[in-house]
Amino acid sequence: MILGSDVSGWQSVDGADYAASTDGFVICKLSQGERVSKKGLRHATKAAGVVPVGAYHFASPLRRGLRTWRPTQQADTFCAAVTKSGILAHDWPHVDVPRLWLDMEWISFGKTPEGKARGKAFRRQFRPSEVMRWTRAFVARVQDVLGERCGIYTGRSYTKYRYQNASELGLYDLWLAAYVDVGKDRTRVPDGWPEPIRLANGDSWDPLIWQFTGRGSASWYRKGKGRIDRNLLNLDKAVS
Protein backbone atom coordinates (compact mmCIF):
# COMPACT_ATOMS: atom_id res chain seq x y z
CA MET A 1 0.00 0.00 0.00
CA ILE A 2 1.06 3.56 -0.74
CA LEU A 3 0.79 6.38 1.79
CA GLY A 4 -0.28 9.83 0.65
CA SER A 5 -2.07 13.05 1.61
CA ASP A 6 -4.72 15.41 0.34
CA VAL A 7 -4.63 19.17 0.78
CA SER A 8 -6.98 22.12 0.41
CA GLY A 9 -6.92 25.82 1.19
CA TRP A 10 -6.75 24.98 4.89
CA GLN A 11 -3.14 23.84 4.54
CA SER A 12 -0.10 26.00 3.93
CA VAL A 13 2.48 24.03 1.98
CA ASP A 14 5.45 25.31 0.00
CA GLY A 15 7.68 23.74 -2.61
CA ALA A 16 10.35 22.79 -0.07
CA ASP A 17 7.75 20.78 1.86
CA TYR A 18 6.83 18.76 -1.19
CA ALA A 19 10.49 18.27 -2.06
CA ALA A 20 11.02 16.73 1.37
CA SER A 21 7.97 14.50 1.10
CA THR A 22 8.31 10.74 0.93
CA ASP A 23 4.59 10.33 0.19
CA GLY A 24 3.55 8.38 -2.87
CA PHE A 25 0.95 10.97 -3.89
CA VAL A 26 -0.88 14.16 -2.95
CA ILE A 27 -4.41 15.06 -4.08
CA CYS A 28 -5.18 18.80 -4.20
CA LYS A 29 -8.56 20.49 -4.02
CA LEU A 30 -8.76 22.61 -7.17
CA SER A 31 -12.36 23.80 -7.17
CA GLN A 32 -15.63 24.06 -5.27
CA GLY A 33 -18.97 24.73 -6.83
CA GLU A 34 -18.31 26.99 -9.80
CA ARG A 35 -15.24 28.59 -8.26
CA VAL A 36 -11.57 27.70 -8.72
CA SER A 37 -9.49 27.36 -5.55
CA LYS A 38 -6.51 29.68 -5.96
CA LYS A 39 -4.72 28.11 -2.99
CA GLY A 40 -5.38 24.66 -4.41
CA LEU A 41 -3.87 25.70 -7.72
CA ARG A 42 -0.74 26.89 -5.93
CA HIS A 43 -0.52 23.56 -4.09
CA ALA A 44 -0.80 21.61 -7.33
CA THR A 45 1.70 23.68 -9.30
CA LYS A 46 4.27 23.48 -6.49
CA ALA A 47 3.86 19.73 -6.12
CA ALA A 48 3.69 18.85 -9.83
CA GLY A 49 6.82 17.08 -10.95
CA VAL A 50 7.95 16.62 -7.35
CA VAL A 51 5.39 14.06 -6.15
CA PRO A 52 2.55 12.41 -8.10
CA VAL A 53 -0.35 14.87 -8.00
CA GLY A 54 -4.08 14.23 -8.22
CA ALA A 55 -6.98 16.69 -7.96
CA TYR A 56 -10.48 16.82 -6.57
CA HIS A 57 -13.59 18.97 -6.90
CA PHE A 58 -15.88 19.70 -3.95
CA ALA A 59 -19.48 19.54 -5.18
CA SER A 60 -21.30 22.48 -3.64
CA PRO A 61 -23.92 25.12 -4.43
CA LEU A 62 -21.80 27.53 -2.38
CA ARG A 63 -23.82 30.27 -0.64
CA ARG A 64 -25.34 31.92 -3.68
CA GLY A 65 -28.39 29.73 -3.98
CA LEU A 66 -29.26 26.43 -5.56
CA ARG A 67 -28.81 27.79 -9.09
CA THR A 68 -25.08 27.02 -8.85
CA TRP A 69 -25.77 23.29 -8.34
CA ARG A 70 -25.17 22.52 -12.02
CA PRO A 71 -23.06 19.47 -12.89
CA THR A 72 -21.79 20.51 -16.31
CA GLN A 73 -20.76 23.98 -15.18
CA GLN A 74 -19.05 22.63 -12.06
CA ALA A 75 -17.26 19.99 -14.14
CA ASP A 76 -16.08 22.66 -16.59
CA THR A 77 -14.75 24.72 -13.67
CA PHE A 78 -12.84 21.70 -12.41
CA CYS A 79 -11.48 20.80 -15.85
CA ALA A 80 -10.25 24.36 -16.39
CA ALA A 81 -8.48 24.26 -13.01
CA VAL A 82 -6.89 20.88 -13.73
CA THR A 83 -5.64 22.12 -17.10
CA LYS A 84 -4.28 25.35 -15.61
CA SER A 85 -2.49 23.47 -12.81
CA GLY A 86 -0.36 21.56 -15.32
CA ILE A 87 -0.60 18.27 -13.42
CA LEU A 88 -1.65 16.30 -16.50
CA ALA A 89 1.75 17.02 -18.05
CA HIS A 90 3.40 15.01 -15.27
CA ASP A 91 3.43 11.32 -14.58
CA TRP A 92 0.81 9.64 -12.39
CA PRO A 93 2.47 6.27 -11.79
CA HIS A 94 -0.58 4.59 -10.26
CA VAL A 95 -2.00 3.83 -13.71
CA ASP A 96 -4.95 1.72 -12.55
CA VAL A 97 -6.14 4.40 -10.10
CA PRO A 98 -7.69 7.70 -11.27
CA ARG A 99 -6.03 10.94 -10.24
CA LEU A 100 -9.19 13.01 -10.67
CA TRP A 101 -11.97 12.85 -8.07
CA LEU A 102 -15.43 14.23 -7.30
CA ASP A 103 -15.94 14.97 -3.60
CA MET A 104 -19.54 14.16 -2.60
CA GLU A 105 -20.17 14.83 1.08
CA TRP A 106 -22.64 16.53 3.40
CA ILE A 107 -23.01 20.26 2.75
CA SER A 108 -23.50 22.67 5.62
CA PHE A 109 -25.63 25.76 5.10
CA GLY A 110 -24.94 27.00 8.61
CA LYS A 111 -26.70 26.63 11.95
CA THR A 112 -28.93 29.68 11.71
CA PRO A 113 -32.68 29.15 11.14
CA GLU A 114 -32.21 30.47 7.59
CA GLY A 115 -29.30 28.11 6.95
CA LYS A 116 -31.19 25.11 8.29
CA ALA A 117 -34.17 25.98 6.10
CA ARG A 118 -31.95 26.23 3.02
CA GLY A 119 -30.33 22.91 3.83
CA LYS A 120 -33.72 21.24 4.18
CA ALA A 121 -34.88 22.75 0.88
CA PHE A 122 -31.70 21.58 -0.84
CA ARG A 123 -32.10 17.99 0.36
CA ARG A 124 -35.77 18.00 -0.59
CA GLN A 125 -35.04 19.29 -4.09
CA PHE A 126 -32.11 16.97 -4.73
CA ARG A 127 -33.31 13.55 -3.75
CA PRO A 128 -31.13 10.43 -4.09
CA SER A 129 -32.04 9.79 -7.73
CA GLU A 130 -31.11 13.39 -8.56
CA VAL A 131 -27.82 13.12 -6.66
CA MET A 132 -26.95 10.03 -8.70
CA ARG A 133 -27.91 11.78 -11.94
CA TRP A 134 -25.80 14.80 -10.96
CA THR A 135 -22.81 12.56 -10.23
CA ARG A 136 -23.19 10.73 -13.54
CA ALA A 137 -23.30 13.99 -15.49
CA PHE A 138 -20.28 15.48 -13.71
CA VAL A 139 -18.08 12.41 -14.15
CA ALA A 140 -19.05 11.99 -17.80
CA ARG A 141 -18.22 15.62 -18.53
CA VAL A 142 -14.79 15.39 -16.90
CA GLN A 143 -13.98 12.23 -18.82
CA ASP A 144 -15.15 13.79 -22.10
CA VAL A 145 -13.14 16.99 -21.63
CA LEU A 146 -9.93 15.63 -20.09
CA GLY A 147 -9.97 12.04 -21.32
CA GLU A 148 -9.29 10.65 -17.84
CA ARG A 149 -11.33 8.63 -15.37
CA CYS A 150 -12.91 10.45 -12.46
CA GLY A 151 -13.65 8.63 -9.22
CA ILE A 152 -15.89 9.48 -6.26
CA TYR A 153 -14.79 10.53 -2.78
CA THR A 154 -17.48 9.95 -0.18
CA GLY A 155 -18.35 8.32 3.14
CA ARG A 156 -20.68 5.57 4.29
CA SER A 157 -23.44 7.82 5.63
CA TYR A 158 -23.60 9.91 2.45
CA THR A 159 -23.70 6.75 0.36
CA LYS A 160 -26.53 5.38 2.48
CA TYR A 161 -28.74 8.44 2.80
CA ARG A 162 -27.99 10.57 -0.27
CA TYR A 163 -27.28 7.81 -2.81
CA GLN A 164 -29.36 5.13 -1.05
CA ASN A 165 -26.51 2.75 -1.89
CA ALA A 166 -27.39 2.97 -5.59
CA SER A 167 -26.10 -0.02 -7.54
CA GLU A 168 -24.76 2.34 -10.21
CA LEU A 169 -22.04 3.49 -7.82
CA GLY A 170 -20.22 0.25 -8.54
CA LEU A 171 -19.31 1.66 -11.95
CA TYR A 172 -17.05 4.25 -10.33
CA ASP A 173 -13.79 4.11 -8.40
CA LEU A 174 -14.13 4.84 -4.68
CA TRP A 175 -12.01 7.01 -2.40
CA LEU A 176 -13.53 6.30 1.01
CA ALA A 177 -13.49 8.61 4.02
CA ALA A 178 -13.60 6.31 7.06
CA TYR A 179 -11.64 7.61 10.03
CA VAL A 180 -9.96 5.47 12.65
CA ASP A 181 -8.43 6.51 15.95
CA VAL A 182 -4.71 6.93 15.32
CA GLY A 183 -4.13 7.72 18.99
CA LYS A 184 -1.30 9.96 20.12
CA ASP A 185 1.02 8.74 17.38
CA ARG A 186 -0.44 10.69 14.47
CA THR A 187 2.09 9.18 12.07
CA ARG A 188 0.65 5.71 12.66
CA VAL A 189 -0.75 3.84 9.68
CA PRO A 190 -3.61 1.45 10.49
CA ASP A 191 -3.47 -2.24 9.74
CA GLY A 192 -5.93 -3.96 7.46
CA TRP A 193 -8.40 -2.39 5.05
CA PRO A 194 -11.95 -1.06 5.56
CA GLU A 195 -14.94 -3.21 4.73
CA PRO A 196 -16.49 -2.42 1.33
CA ILE A 197 -19.81 -0.63 1.05
CA ARG A 198 -22.68 -2.98 0.26
CA LEU A 199 -24.74 -1.62 -2.63
CA ALA A 200 -28.45 -2.10 -3.26
CA ASN A 201 -27.88 -4.97 -5.69
CA GLY A 202 -25.67 -6.80 -3.19
CA ASP A 203 -22.39 -5.91 -4.88
CA SER A 204 -19.40 -4.70 -2.86
CA TRP A 205 -18.02 -1.22 -3.52
CA ASP A 206 -14.42 -1.56 -2.45
CA PRO A 207 -12.25 1.57 -2.02
CA LEU A 208 -9.04 2.12 -3.96
CA ILE A 209 -8.02 4.94 -1.62
CA TRP A 210 -8.81 5.10 2.09
CA GLN A 211 -8.74 8.44 3.91
CA PHE A 212 -8.20 7.07 7.40
CA THR A 213 -7.68 10.30 9.37
CA GLY A 214 -8.13 14.03 9.09
CA ARG A 215 -5.68 14.72 11.90
CA GLY A 216 -2.62 12.85 10.77
CA SER A 217 0.98 13.99 10.82
CA ALA A 218 3.76 13.85 8.25
CA SER A 219 7.39 14.76 8.81
CA TRP A 220 7.44 16.94 5.69
CA TYR A 221 4.35 18.99 6.68
CA ARG A 222 5.16 21.77 9.16
CA LYS A 223 8.02 19.64 10.47
CA GLY A 224 5.56 17.04 11.73
CA LYS A 225 3.62 19.51 13.89
CA GLY A 226 0.71 20.23 11.56
CA ARG A 227 -2.45 18.20 11.02
CA ILE A 228 -3.19 16.81 7.59
CA ASP A 229 -5.46 14.24 5.91
CA ARG A 230 -3.72 10.91 5.45
CA ASN A 231 -4.62 8.26 2.91
CA LEU A 232 -3.65 4.79 1.81
CA LEU A 233 -3.80 3.68 -1.81
CA ASN A 234 -4.24 -0.06 -2.32
CA LEU A 235 -3.12 -1.16 -5.77
CA ASP A 236 -4.36 -4.68 -5.04
CA LYS A 237 -7.91 -3.30 -5.25
CA ALA A 238 -7.36 -1.73 -8.68
CA VAL A 239 -8.66 -3.42 -11.80
CA SER A 240 -6.81 -2.53 -14.96
Provide the CATH number for the domain formed by 2-237 in this structure.
Answer: 3.20.20.80
Whether the CB-CB separation of 163 and 128 falls below 8 Å is answered with yes
Give Cβ neighbours of residue 106 (< 8 Å, ≥ 6 apart): 157, 158, 162
β-bridge mates for residue 54, sequence order:
27
Q: Are strands 204-205 and 197-198 parallel, antiparallel or unpaired?
A: antiparallel
pTM, full prediction = 0.89
pLDDT at 185: 58
Query: Which amino acid would we find at residue 37?
Result: S
pLDDT at 184 (0 to 100): 62
One DSSP character per residue, the chain reads -EEEEEE-TT----HHHHHH---S-EEEEEEETTEE-HHHHHHHHHHTTTS-EEEEEE---TTS-GGG--HHHHHHHHHHHHHHHTGGGS----TTS-SEEEE-------SSHHHHHHHHHHHHHS-HHHHHHHHHHHHHHHHHHH-S-EEEEEEHHHHHHTSTT-GGGGGS-EEEE------S-TT---SS-PPPEEPTTS-EE--SEEEEEEEE--TTSGGGTS-EEEEEE-GGG---
What was the pLDDT predicted at 46? 87
Say how many Å lie between the first and final Cα of the chain, rounded.
17
Which mean pLDDT values do the consecutive 10-residue runs of the chain (240 residues) have?
Answer: 87 73 90 92 89 93 60 96 95 90 82 73 76 94 97 94 93 93 66 90 95 81 73 81
